[in-house]
Chain A
Amino acid sequence: ELKVEQNPLFLSMQEGKNYTIYCNYSTTSDRLYWYRQDPGKSLESLFVLLSNGAVKQEGRLMASLDTKARLSTLHITAAVHDLSATYFCAVGKSNFGNEKLTFGTGTRLTIIP
């Protein structure tokens, strides 16, 4: 059974600092996703990583994928308050054309001014 672990679960950091969220998964994946969720809101897609060594960047967020290590990271550079949210990674596995997402536990990020 596929397991997806994220750490840390909670992260409180000061504005301007850098930090990394880690996502480990237990079996091979087809796709790795990162989502953002604000309180009471739905999931907003941030990145889709398709292959080993994939790196994507959007603003202060950068995601990478190492399929050999079964590890994805979400790096936050020079954090700002607007980045406060819960971040989820999810592994997509295809089976005869169907895809099922298995989510990590989420990392609740709080940026302190």
Chain B
Amino acid sequence: KAGVTQTPRYLIKTRGQQVTLSCSPISGHRSVSWYQQTPGQGLQFLFEYFSETQRNKGNFPGRFSGRQFSNSRSEMNVSTLELGDSALYLCASSWRERTNYEQYFGPGTRLTVT
């Protein structure tokens, strides 16, 4: 079974631009969560999508947004990029059932903002 895939794997953007990252979950998984990893702040939860609805949100500004499509694929968007947005962005998918919440992580998208 294919794992979680993320595109692109690497991205360089300039301050003020916007960026869209994509995540395709494991087949059958309906929940997608996004995390930001930086050396200073570590791994932080951004948001979770399930059934095309945002179900949970972390403490990030409104510049960070996302969506989920009917096939469970998800995108996250960051507008008006800042230098501090440089990070590894990880998405994770899960079944999200009562007894199985385990999340499987994709390879990540490394975003560099210059």
Query: Which residues of A are at the interface with B, using a C-beta cutoff of 8 A?
Result: 30-31, 33, 35, 41-45, 48, 88, 90, 92, 94-106
> Helix, strand, loop or mixed for chain B's interface?
strand
B103 near A101 with CB under 8 A, answer yes
Contacts known (A43-B90, A97-B55, A98-B56); A103 close to B102, Cβ less than 8 A: no
Total interface residues in chain B, CB < 8 Å: 25
> Helix, strand, loop or mixed for chain A's interface?
strand
Docked CA distance A97–B49 (Å): 12
10 A-B contacts (beta carbon < 8 Å): A43-B92, A43-B105, A45-B102, A88-B43, A97-B50, A98-B48, A99-B94, A99-B101, A100-B56, A101-B45
Interface check B108, CB cutoff 8 A: yes
Contacts known (A31-B101, A105-B42); A100 close to B106, Cβ less than 8 A: no
